[in-house]
């Protein structure tokens, strides 16, 4: 799961999981993730991260959608 990319559904921001940890005060299992836009690091309880707020980004699908040789043909 580390280095996987997720998109936050509400903000549409893209984030990379950098690790997992515990919130000291509550011993809550957490996801540590980094914004791909500005590098800001965030921590969120694992249950919140995986409750549907974020969706996994299949990089191969994203790259395929970004480059479609038929629709990107240029007239010479």
> pLDDT, tens digit, for every residue of 48-75?
999 999 999 987 766 666 555 555 555 4
pLDDT category of residue 40 using cuts at 50, 70 and 90? very high
* Domain ranges across the chain: 5-66
CATH number of this structure's domain 5-66: 2.30.30
Alpha-carbon separation of residue 40 from 9, 53, 69 (angstroms) = 18, 18, 34
In the sheet with 41-45, reading across from the earlier edge strand, the strands are: 41-45, 28-35, 14-23, 5-8, 54-56
Task: Tell me the pTM.
Answer: 0.77
């Amino acid at each position: 799961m580390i280095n996987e990319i997720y998109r936050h559904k509400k903000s549409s921001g893209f984030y990379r999981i950098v690790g997992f940890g515990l919130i000291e005060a509550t011993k809550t299992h957490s996801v540590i993730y980094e914004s791909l836009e500005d590098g800001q690091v965030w921590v969120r309880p694992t249950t919140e991260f995986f409750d549907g707020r974020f969706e996994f980004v299949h990089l191969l699908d994203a790259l395929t959608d970004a480059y479609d040789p038929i629709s990107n043909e240029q007239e010479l």
